[in-house]
Chain A
């Protein structure tokens, strides 16, 4: 089974994000880390590969020159990676991201594509479904337990009240939820071997995209201005003089919560 796992490299969430004054885009530092939510996708991919004698290929688009996040996923046990790293991709919107990833995945061949439900830095939550549409295969979202084999994939899809069991023929695209599995720590041996694992470097051009198809030009939109969000206002403290509950109920009614 050929398993493709989408992994996004993002600026370290522990450090403050910086916006470029002109383009208003997040400045992507040289050292980007693996998006934590994608560790779940990698784990699901590795477990399915172990159960089905499969291979796990990582796909990542990141115009930054960073390899660190990909190495982390390789260290967890993925077999190889395809990195689409090209300055022309800077400022790409979600749909462009999906087009580029889908083209790379299609070129490599796949039985199953796994992505996260939403990324930590962009969180549009649409890329996996867009990839499925472009590849013309079913999309299964909010997957927690996943089983695959015999030409089909079965998941438990997280719902507000519980889960649905959803089944689909392969090939298909899965978006897994964070917390679906316990991602393994990379082993030190895995970390040392990651350097030897193949990483294919592609440009947008290699996948048949022209400069105007991708990046800011291809997104069909532009960010005209950014403004800081208003600071949170101090809450109201209600001293309990025995009647506090009445005031709280009144407040909840005022805000139409109840």
Chain B
């Protein structure tokens, strides 16, 4: 208690100076991804969103930097800590949730299960080209009739000699149409198992989902597996049951806990700068009390969410993070990002509905983020069960 509280100074987005907690390495990773987003994403993202595309070349550029599977180690991955992974997700999602989704799916949903549950041969074969972005992966869990309740999936795999034969249809699969390899979760005689399926295997086909209004700069596809035959060594040997896919989702959700704060920050910053320049009734709209309240609420939400993300990230690195704590972060940070986006949208008036500004793009994207990787409601129920000891799922 030696120095007095300072009188204050000029405040930027990081009001609580949360990033002062970062070490040099984490800061450099943050700055590198931020520069990449400024150079490679922001100039074109409105067009990608409008056209419903994401250029596949981005994968190799991100791979060269070390973004893909960065929080794993060995096999060509960068081997950073979890906070760095979170910061990368935050900066990517400040660009667009679609770009962040690409990285989440590649690193946490496609590479992670091979890294965590695969055989040594599987790791050697798949991880290096996935880390470099030469091979894009996808994660097939959800089906049209099995979303929040993945246990209800119909996809099944049966043994035929030494091979496995997989039948079923997966739905809402990010990167599906551009993937070279799919991690497919299927019922077998002894529980749910994961399979590494090259997408050029006969019987495997995809069709992209069109007319999305959200996450447009991201490919979302249906995967059809019609008697897809893979060799015996395509099965992930080291995990049985739903805990396989659920542990992947937990890894990815930490990225969302951070990522959503990036989208929220971008919306808040857009609203702040717009409100200082937009003049109505002879004054900048930032001078109206109602607008200041909106700005303050947004700023507070962004800072709270950022603090929470840092706390959970540090716990992840310390090895003390629980799945329920991840649910806490996913539930509240995405909800609050969506609230910030909607508030920011209103500050921008009519301009807020155009792609000239990032806000409605983030707002629409966040609707997907709210739903995927466990809907908001499912995470509430997880927390409800955690504090009452009573499951309300069924």
A residues touching B (Cβ–Cβ < 8 Å)?
15-16, 31, 33, 67-68, 71-72, 75, 185-189, 191-192, 194-195
Contact = CB atoms under 8 A, between A and B. Distances in A.
A33 B70 CA distance: 24
Contacts, number: 49
Given A75-B28, A192-B79, A187 B65 contact: yes
B224 to A, nearest CB: 36
Contact of B28 (A15, A68, A189): A68
A195 B79 CA distance: 14
Interface string B26-53: 0111011001100000000000000000
A71 B29 CA distance: 11
Residue among B24, B27, B36, B65 with the most chain A CB within 10 A? Answer: B24
A67 B24 contact: yes
B25 A195 contact: yes
B80 interface: yes
| Top 10 A-B pairs, shortest CB-CB distance | A188-B66, A188-B78, A187-B66, A191-B28, A189-B78, A185-B32, A185-B65, A68-B24, A71-B24, A186-B32
A191 B66 CA distance: 10
Given A15-B12, A16-B10, A188 B24 contact: no
Interface in B50-93: 64-67, 70, 78-80, 84
Contacts of A186: 28, 32
A34 to B, nearest CB: 9
Interface string B8-28: 001010000000000011011
B25 A192 contact: yes
**B interface secondary structure, majority:** helix
Given A15-B12, A68-B24, A68-B27, A191 B79 contact: no
Contacts of A189: 66, 78-79
A15 B10 CA distance: 9
Given A188-B70, A191-B25, 11 more contacts: A15-B12, A68-B27, A71-B25, A75-B28, A188-B67, A188-B84, A189-B79, A191-B29, A192-B78, A192-B80, A194-B25
A188 B29 CA distance: 7
B28 A72 contact: yes
Residue among A16, A67, A75, A188 with the most chain B CB within 10 A? Answer: A188
B28 to A, nearest CB: 5
Contacts of A67: 24
Nearest to A72: B28
B177 to A, nearest CB: 28
Nearest to B25: A191
Nearest to A70: B24
B102 to A, nearest CB: 17
Nearest to B67: A188
Contacts of A192: 25, 78-80
A191 B85 CA distance: 13
A128 B374 CA distance: 58
B28 A185 contact: no
A188 B132 CA distance: 12
A177 B32 CA distance: 22
A187 B68 CA distance: 11
B26 to A, nearest CB: 9
Given A191-B29, A192-B78, A192-B80, A185 B10 contact: no
23 contacts: A15-B12, A31-B27, A67-B24, A68-B27, A68-B28, A71-B25, A185-B35, A185-B36, A185-B65, A186-B32, A187-B65, A188-B32, A188-B66, A188-B67, A188-B70, A188-B78, A189-B66, A191-B25, A191-B28, A192-B25, A192-B78, A194-B25, A195-B24
Contacts of B10: 15-16
Nearest to A188: B66
A80 B65 CA distance: 21
A17 B151 CA distance: 58
Contacts of B28: 68, 71-72, 75, 186, 191, 194
A31 B12 CA distance: 17
A16 B9 CA distance: 10
A75 B35 CA distance: 15
Nearest to A33: B31
A185 B60 CA distance: 13
Nearest to A74: B28
A72 B35 CA distance: 13
